[in-house]
Structure 1
Amino acid sequence: MGHIQKAPKGEIAIENNKGRIRLRWRYNGKRYPLSLPYAYSPENMHYATIKVAEIELDMMKGCFDTSLEKYKPQKPKPVALLPEKKTLPPNPVVTSLHELSDKFKDWTKNIRNINIDHSVDYYGLYRVLVRWVNIPLGEIAGTMNVENWSVSTYNRRLNMLSAFLSWLKDSGIITSNPLLHVSSRRTKGQDKQQKKNERRIPLQEREIFDFLEAMRLDTYCHKCSPVKHSFYYTFLKFIFLTGVRNAEAVGLRVRHINFDLNTVEISEAFARTNKGTHHAARISKDTKAGNVRYLPMTDELKELLLKQVHSKNPDDFVFPSPKGLSIDDRMLQRRVIKPVLVQLKFGNRDLYVARHCFGTRAVQQGMALTDVAYLMGHTTIKTAINNYVDVSRPAVALPKTALKSSDNLKKVANGDV
């Protein structure tokens, strides 16, 4: 159901009430609701606007019917003499998957209240529907199975498509949801945890040091390069030290740094959109989990940030690009990070590996999982467990216990141990 917005006094709001159109308004200090027997869809909006115009006209004339009987849709009178006709259900309006693309955009905007141009997931699925030309609606499950998608991508798109098709069914556009009983996928193999992304396998401590030193000293930077690698040294070191997400580091502003409290506020991100990763394509938004966290500032981090925010305004980026805009992390990955890692023979890793290095390092050093989850902006410790706790390594010992003999059992019972 879409979000309900309160209409200004005297105006009538058109709402989605469990998939059906409902009108709500105030008149002379009293609230009035009126349900219409039409599915909440773009195709049926004209019924609602006609009814709104009728009610508003009566309110202006002063002949508003407070019982609402005048405005209720008239039910057709049954004809007793004519035999009841049995009609077959109408054929669905939509028969091929690519015909759903425009309706998917309407559903995303009007029902999910999401700007499809700012959502990688929804825009990606929209492009998939456009690509599925002349594929019958009934073959959608089989079509999804032959796509080369990861388990997480398959499950995410299955959930979105199933919700979308259920809305189409309720709107009368299709007769059934062919994905209603399709189950999510599970990973196969020795363990059922998510498959690790090789580009995000954590670097060792020495490898992190060597990488950052190569950046600081411009070891592999071309002598004719207009922007030296060392320009990005503080940005990269900040991410390795804090484990923040790329967009959170890109969008960090001077006002988020508090040297009196020695904290770094992570409350927003300057996120990429489907239009690209350059400054003009990005938008300011909440963090991925929608939470705010405060990172304690170490001496090393404080020294780094003091130099970075010197003589800047509160709304300035802490880590601007060479042109004073936001850093394009995708171009940074392609033109700087990847070539340096290849030269160091560390493999093809992406910038997000810094976050995985932080989480793994925190767990290995014995930090409580609740603290790890907070510092990394997770809503639960489950994400930290799935990504940073390695249970494949053989245990070297059993946990210690005082129960070594029957005598010790008696001491435990007596409270002596």
Structure 2
Amino acid sequence: MATDNRGRKLPKGIRQRSKDGFEGRFTYQHKTYTVHGETVTKTQKAMTELKYKLEHGIYADKKKITLNDWFTTWMEEYKKNQVKTGTYTNYQNYYNFAIKERMGSNLISDIRGEHIQKLYNDLVDNEYTLSSIKLVKAILNGCLKQAMRNGLIERNPVPLATLPRQKEKKERQAMTKEQQTLFMEYAKDSYLYNLFAVMLRTGMRIGEITGLKYTDIDKRKNVIHIQRTLLYINNEGYMECDPKTKTSNRDIPLTAALCELLENQRKFWGFKVERIDRYLFCTEKGEPLGRQRVQYEIDRITKQITAAGHDFPRITAHVFRHTFATRAIEAGMQPQVLKTILGHSSLTMTMDLYSHVLPDTKADEMEKIANVF
């Protein structure tokens, strides 16, 4: 039986290392496993835990764990019940598109800072935005930080890499008043006319308006309650999620024009939308309306416009939100009020919109004070 440096007997399978700590060794299914600990008690505990994992088939040799393997474990065991469904899906999508093919087959024990740096540089070359690369960094950092806590790697390599320099932001796209009028004129025959008109008058996000139910229209308080967002999850279908942020859960005041549009939509398909599970904006069969279907209809309308000889840019559903914000700023809506209607999490986001719109009106504003001097 082995003894420690003081000559005391040690438990079976444990010996004292020459410099520090203890080593525990045992055999399972003809293979030898070794663990280490600062004390005898910690070494025994490590041996017990490892034996349990081996007996229950949940042990993974850290020398053979790939990033793909560990990411799957991290998502299932550490993130699934901690983050919103939308966030979970977003992590999955970013990993699959930005990380998996580039370094997913690497062993996590082999990943170094230069591998992370190469990933960032490759994403820049493929025109990923800085905000997207920051999300990639957050995913990798959380994933590998947990691997380090679990003793699978000695060091988290993510902090060793440097994010790329911020490129000049693309100008926010919003329709001009002329473009807005032109689009709605050509959209008159569209089954999504009411949806486009409501988006222009509220600035709702696409997931918010497709998740809107007739029960969210509160005529007594004269507001629209934004309480959910509709999200499509691959292989699972449509799911209702909480709004994007805490401030996204909000009330938007009802105007007479909005009431008319929403009432028209309630009658549009000829079925009752008061059912608790029925979305106000839906397909002809009463099924959820997907983002791709909305985008297809936007593209169909813009093609008609350009075919008629008009110069018109390709737009997305998000452009309607920016267009609402632009019209609101032009009309003199105060930043704090616009912030609450849009559901921004900070006033900085709203003021960023102002910085985009105000340069176009500053000449007019200067004229207002020209006679003061």
TM over 0.5: yes
Equivalent-residue separation in structure 1 for 2:361 and 2:226 (angstroms)? 37
Matched, 1:309 2:266: yes
Q: CA deviation at 1:245?
A: 0.5
Q: 2:338 & 2:3 partners in 1: Cα distance? A: 67
Query: Partner letter of residue 91 of structure 2?
Result: Y
One-letter amino acid of the structure 1 residue matched with residue 151 of structure 2: G
Counterpart of 1:411 in structure 2 is none
Identity %: 21
> Residue in 2 aligned with 1:109?
76
Aligned to 2:170: 195
Give the direction of change, closer, same or farther, for the CA distance of 1:362–1:325 in structure 2 (3 Å limit): same
Return the structure number with greater helix share: 2
1:266 aligns with 2:232: no
> What is the CA–CA distance in structure 1 between the aligned matches of 2:250 and 2:121, rounded to whole Å?
40
Using the TM superposition, give the Cα deviation of residue 364 of structure 1 relative to its aligned residue in structure 2, in angstroms: 2.0
One-letter amino acid matched to 1:211: F
Deviation digits for residues 130-156 of structure 1 (CA, Å, limit 9, x no counterpart): 312555511222223212221100011
The residue number in structure 2 matching 1:340 is 301
Q: Is it true that 1:137 corresponds to 2:111 in the alignment?
A: yes
- 116, 122, 127: which one pairs with 1:146? 122
How far apart in 1 are the matches of 2:323 and 2:331? 12
Structure 2 counterpart SS, 1:146: helix
- Structure 1 residue 323, shift from structure 2 partner: 1.1
SS at match of 1:282: strand
Instruction: Please give the root-mean-square deviation of Cα atoms over the aligned residues, in Å.
Output: 3.3
Residues 202 and 353 in structure 1, CA contact (< 8 A), matched pair in contact too: yes
Equivalent pair of 1:266/1:294 in contact (CA under 8 Å): yes
Give the 3 Å change call, closer, same or farther, for CA 261–384 of structure 1 in structure 2: same
2:224 and 2:171 map into 1 onto residues whose CA distance is 30
Q: Distance in 2 between matches of 1:234 and 1:394?
A: 30
2:186 aligned to which of 202, 214, 228: 214
Closer/same/farther in 2, CA of residues 295 and 159 from structure 1, 3 Å limit: same
1:273 offset after TM fit, Å? 2.4
Q: What is the count of residue pairs matched by the alignment?
A: 302
Superposed displacement of residue 372, structure 1: 0.8
1:354 corresponds to which residue? 320
* Partner residue, 1:52: none
Maintained 8 Å contact 2:204/2:342: yes
What's 1:255 paired with? 215
The answer to whether structure 1 residue 157 and structure 2 residue 136 are counterparts is yes
Helix, strand or coil at the partner of 2:241: strand
Which residue number corresponds to residue 286 of structure 1? Answer: 242
* SS of match in other structure, 1:352: helix
Which structure 2 segments of 5+ residues have no match? 8-14, 21-34, 36-59, 306-310
Matched, 1:367 2:333: yes
The Cα offsets for residues 33-64 of structure 1, whole Å up to 9 and x where unpaired, read as xxxxxxxxxxxxxxxxxxxxxxxxxxxxxxxx
> Deviation of residue 299 (structure 1)?
1.0
Where 1:126 maps in the other structure, the secondary structure is helix
Q: CA deviation at 1:157?
A: 1.1
Q: TM-score, normalised by structure 2?
A: 0.71
Matched, 1:236 2:211: no
Question: Please, which moves more after superposition, 294-303 or 116-125?
Answer: 116-125
- Describe the superposition over 1:336-394 as per-residue Cα deviations: whole angstroms up to 9, x where unpaired: 21132133231111111100101111122221111111101112111112244326559
Relative to structure 1, is the Cα distance of residues 133 and 157 closer, same or farther in structure 2, using a 3 angstrom cutoff? closer
Q: Is the 8 A contact 1:268 1:284 kept in 2?
A: yes
Q: Structure 1 residues 188, 333: CA separation in 2 closer, same or farther (over 3 Å shift)?
A: closer
Determine which of 99, 104, 110 is the counterpart of 2:66.
99
SS of the equivalent of 1:294 reads: strand
Q: Does the C-alpha gap of structure 1 residues 312 and 93 become closer, same or farther in structure 2, counting only changes over 3 Å?
A: closer
Runs of 4+ that moved beyond 6 A = 115-118, 398-401
Matching residue's letter, 2:243: T
From the superposition, tell whether residues 133 and 254 of structure 1 become closer, same or farther in structure 2 (CA, over 3 Å): closer
Report deviation, 1:331: 2.1
Rate the CA distance shift 1:183–1:328 in 2: closer, same or farther, 3 A.
same
Local SS of the residue matching 2:240: strand
Among 255, 266, 275, the alignment partner of 1:298 is 255
In structure 2, the CA distance between the partners of 1:384 and 1:118, relative to structure 1 (3 Å rule), is: closer
